[in-house]
Structure 1
Amino acid sequence: MTFSIVGRSADGQTLGIAVASKFLAVGAAVPAAEAGIGALATQAFANLAYRVQGLALLRTGTAAADVIAGLTAADSGRAHRQLGVVGPSGDGATYTGGECFDWAGGVAGDGYAIQGNILAGPQVVAEMERAWLASGDLSLPRRLHAALAAGDAAGGDRRGRQSAALLTVRHGAGYGGMSDVEVDLRVDDDADPVTRMGGLIELWELYFGKPDPATLLPLDGELAGEVDAKLKALGYESLDAWAGVENLEERLVAGAIDPLVLEQLRAAQRPTGA
């Protein structure tokens, strides 16, 4: 009833999961990840204890395949389970119990594990792997979503669509650098959740992505005058004040302006009645 990918970035610093299903709020059940430790997806008749137990095993340095062996060996319901695990290095691993509903299966390789059950067919997993391998130049959130979208386009969950989720972790990557949760997005009930997830990733990149130093514009001369005039027209005394209201504070850089922030500022309108 679910298809997912667990993956690791090329530099080994980011770990994450993308998942979709004909299941309400699949993100509340399937994914688990810890920065520098590993990530996993538990699905089919999901054993939610695998999340805590699997991360505990990964903290000891246990390889992904051995994590799966340990978790399933102790589970009398393993024939109905499906599981994907990736550690901070090496191959990922996937497991499909013999009594999972058809079509069910998975593939794994260096830094990834892909799995699904009640799928339209093996092409779902095959297309997810193809998209993953072809997208190595993308950020991990984008790469995971590309694989998920490929699986969805290939038929995905043969019962239909309902929810999707994306979780990535990296040390200090959270809001304000105060947590390790980089991206945590969920579409809990939607007719086209994978597409909707793509839109949410775009918003996350706008609000929480870090500015590219190569594209920053010096905030001086005519540009400084334009920005100051626009801020005053909007009723703000500083760029910091406006950006805080618009949730763009993560993109502020002293003495310069991110082109994405400038674009948002130029498009901003003073609220009616203000």
Structure 2
Amino acid sequence: MTFSIVARCAGTGMFGVAVSSSSPAVAARCAYARAGVGAVASQNVTDPSLGTRALDLMALGAGAAQAIEVLRGSTPHMEFRQVLAVDAHGASAIHSGPRALGTWAEAKGQDVACGGNLLANPDVPQRMVEAFHASSGHLGDRLVEVMRAALEAGGEAGPVHSAGMKLVDKVSWPVADLRVDWTDDCPIEALARLWGIYKPQLADYVTRALDPSAAPSYGVPGDE
């Protein structure tokens, strides 16, 4: 019911996750990232605890592959799960249990891991990895490009209805956490529009948190 990407920007160290599904509010359950540590997607009969556990392991020094191996060896029902991880060095790892739903597949490379289940075809994750490596610019822009490439490659077997993107960079909270929890239109294009609105304001929201006296105008009625 899901296809996703976890990725690291080699130039800035920013991490991101993007995900889409036929299920509602997919990003609320599947997307995890921590600045300076890594990014994780936990999906397919989802156990959200796997996302935070993988990040905790990587924060303690485990690489992506080590974190995935620990989860495999210490967690029940892993045969149902898909977990994608990328670490602070750009190494990536994936677990896909044999009881993942429908047509499932995975692909990874430096700074990126992609995977999905109930896919239209098994080529989708590899096309996503290729799109990521061919892209440039802000990580948020690159993730949107990858999700569009996933749809062009076939995406999920049925129509998707939700999508989301999470970005982390230097501060302890996500610098972007954007979600389209349900739409009968294309959630990835809705996410792209939302990102287009948010991207020019991203740095200002960080400034407002760190030093409100240096913040630019809020641009709302009553603000001078």
TM over 0.5: yes
- Corresponding position of 2:72: 72
Q: Does residue 185 of the first structure (1) align with residue 178 of the second (2)?
A: yes
- Corresponding position of 1:165: 164
Q: Does residue 155 of the first structure (1) align with residue 149 of the second (2)?
A: no
* Distance across 1 between alignment mates of 2:105 and 2:218: 46
DSSP 3-state at the match of 1:151 = helix
Task: Name which structure has the greater RCO, CA cutoff 8 Å, separation 6+.
Answer: 2
* Distance across 1 between alignment mates of 2:182 and 2:70: 34
Aligned alpha-carbon RMSD (Å): 1.9
DSSP 3-state at the match of 1:107 = strand
Deviates more, 1:145-154 or 1:34-43: 145-154
* Distance across 2 between alignment mates of 1:12 and 1:40: 18
Q: Contact between 2:38 and 2:87, CA under 8 Å: does it hold in 1?
A: yes
> What is the correspondence of 1:1-274 to structure 2 with a 5 Å cutoff?
1-135=1-135, 137-172=136-171, 179-190=172-183, 191-209=185-203, 243-246=217-220
Q: Contact between 2:18 and 2:166, CA under 8 Å: does it hold in 1?
A: yes
DSSP 3-state at the match of 1:116 = strand
Q: TM-score, normalised by structure 1?
A: 0.73
* Distance across 2 between alignment mates of 1:138 and 1:17: 16
Rg larger in structure:
1
The alpha carbon displacement at 1:123 in A equals 2.3
The alpha carbon displacement at 1:245 in A equals 2.9
* Distance across 1 between alignment mates of 2:12 and 2:58: 15
Can you give the 5+ residue segments of structure 2 that lack an aligned partner in the other structure?
205-214
Q: Contact between 1:12 and 1:88, CA under 8 Å: does it hold in 2?
A: no
DSSP 3-state at the match of 1:244 = coil
Can you give the 5+ residue segments of structure 1 that lack an aligned partner in the other structure?
173-178, 211-239, 250-274
How many aligned positions are there?
Answer: 211
Q: Contact between 1:169 and 1:183, CA under 8 Å: does it hold in 2?
A: yes
